[in-house]
A and B are shown apart, each in its own frame.
Chain A
């Protein structure tokens, strides 16, 4: 049983299909949720929390149906929403205690855990200040503290580094890494920032237009693409790429002449020069590198036709 199981999940909002037949089993300790705006990331999170009812299929969290067992799921989940969401006229510790009590902790233990959670995220010194006096970074951290206070099994972080300066972002990433390392909490992190996902997650689900564009283990994906090459070229890049695809390469072209490709085993680097000479292309630079999350993401976004091949379930 995975942390999250999606079975042909379809969600319609206002007559529009927002999630379209999502299927997959998310097993990672830290799962990244990636996709452009409108891809359905927030809708998927809201469906897991039981706010949206699937029009078809199902979503399960720890084996519990997201629609039928929503109270049990919410008991096990800590949720940090993307936007500002707090009660501004409460002190930090009171707010976190309130949320912990709502999650089911008795009053005394909720207070103790609220203090702990605030110290843990680094807000210990300001815990008696009203939340509406906090800076943006502090507000992000208090949302994290309230999500952690009741000891959830799954922590859903929606854009956790949104609006943070580099220092605060680093602090947030550090906290997320510590939570992951501690091991008792699974993480689902939605973000636009590939670097955040790259640093914190071991599995990634990429959504595009409400469909699964890619679902893969980041490390396994990197290992499977050792023949990854980045080229800087001058000339008719598109034709060059078509030829490479004809040779079995996975290839992504960029307007400035950059070409990223993954070569199959039977193709060697010198073959690239041969193909380039045939197409009248100059290769100015060739760079062998490890596959990055950006590449996985770009491939998923770039090549919708080859979606079936890229998705590794």
Chain B
């Protein structure tokens, strides 16, 4: 029926499967996020280090460049686990900046205009709603973390004269795992914190605060009590530890400050569980019109 015929007609066409509703949420969330010029700007900025690292790999594998710039000394620029650790760390912290901008856009528009009662009156559950938003955020952060990291890995494998890629497959796995753990954490934390504040700017600040304020508190606890366990509040430190171990890069901390893997996993799981509980409480409270 054409739009000029102003008569109601029942719908008798095909209906999509229930699971695809999550994809609809993710797709609209993704489109919403990338409709912002600031998101595009931040993404562009996030790609600048990738270009620098790409040039680094090119130089390290180009005999002429090695001869001219490094004067034949391969120690100046070696493409190994430490190099990819730098790549992963750089991209991961840029992902934090991007998530602090993106996560509030995904949630606060729905909450500010009280859209949840309408959204959730459709065949989509609370879990489905959060999953849709999570996928949109996770996919956006993937674009600046594991995808460029693995592309650099692939380029190094292609450029290297030796069978480098095959010998370093565990490194690629470590990059992937490290990035996925980090952006999963960022996505859940970002959505949870964004759901609790009305203004996007405040939500952005809150995401940074949630990472760095406990880190400061952890540092104080460690210094005063002379214990390494204060570092468990320091997300940047424990993520650096985790990335080093996943990539097999040399450890840079003192042995007496070694944090066990179980403790790191426990902290990360705890953050995720608390974030999910926060999200559930907030969405449950807003899903119906009270009255």
Contacts and interface: CB of A to CB of B under 8 A. Distances in A.
A158 interface: yes
A119 interface: yes
Given A79-B118, A99-B122, A182-B8, A104 B109 contact: no
Contacts of B110: 87
A89 interface: yes
Contacts of A124: 3, 6
Interface string A68-98: 0001101101010111111111000000001
A229 to B, nearest CB: 37
A106 interface: yes
B68 interface: no
Contact of B287 (A51, A71, A82, A179): A51
B229 to A, nearest CB: 40
B7 A77 contact: no
A113 interface: yes
B123 A71 contact: yes
A119 B8 CA distance: 10
A101 interface: yes
Contacts of B14: 106, 109
Contacts, number: 124
Contacts of B290: 42
Interface in B71-112: 109-110, 112
Interface in A14-68: 37, 42, 46, 49, 51-52
B285 to A, nearest CB: 12
A189 interface: no
A208 interface: no
Contacts of A102: 21, 24-25, 119, 122-124
B15 to A, nearest CB: 4
B16 interface: yes
Contacts of B255: none
A102 to B, nearest CB: 4
Given A51-B288, A105-B15, A113-B11, A75 B123 contact: yes
Interface string B116-132: 11111111110000000
Contacts of B11: 105, 109, 113, 150-151
A185 B10 contact: yes
Given A98-B28, A102-B21, A119-B6, A42 B291 contact: yes
Is the interface on chain A under 10, 10 to 19, 20 to 34, or 35 or more residues?
A: 35 or more
A103 B24 CA distance: 10
A99 B115 CA distance: 11
A158 B118 CA distance: 12
A122 to B, nearest CB: 8
A89 B122 contact: no
A146 interface: yes
A202 B29 CA distance: 42
B289 interface: yes
A185 B10 CA distance: 8
Contact of B109 (A51, A87, A178): A87
A37 B121 CA distance: 22
Given A42-B289, A115-B3, A158-B289, A146 B118 contact: yes
Contacts of B24: 98, 101-102
A179 B15 contact: no
A53 to B, nearest CB: 12
B113 A88 contact: yes
B13 interface: yes
B113 A81 contact: no
A71 B16 contact: no
A132 interface: yes
Contacts of A37: 291
B224 interface: no
A190 B143 CA distance: 47
Contacts of A106: 13-14, 16
Contacts of B21: 101-102, 104
B114 A84 contact: yes
B234 to A, nearest CB: 37
Interface string B1-44: 10111111111111110100100110010000000000000000
A74 B8 contact: no
A86 B118 contact: yes
Interface of B: 1, 3-16, 18, 21, 24-25, 28, 109-110, 112-125, 287-291
24 contacts: A51-B120, A51-B287, A51-B288, A71-B123, A74-B124, A79-B118, A82-B289, A82-B291, A83-B117, A85-B118, A88-B113, A101-B24, A102-B25, A104-B21, A106-B13, A109-B14, A113-B11, A115-B3, A116-B3, A116-B5, A116-B9, A119-B3, A179-B8, A182-B7
Given A83-B114, A124-B6, A185-B10, 16 more contacts: A42-B288, A49-B121, A74-B121, A79-B117, A81-B117, A84-B113, A86-B113, A86-B115, A98-B28, A101-B28, A102-B123, A103-B123, A116-B1, A131-B113, A143-B118, A151-B11
The 10 closest A-B pairs by CB, nearest first: A151-B11, A104-B15, A79-B121, A102-B122, A184-B10, A71-B123, A88-B113, A74-B123, A85-B118, A115-B3
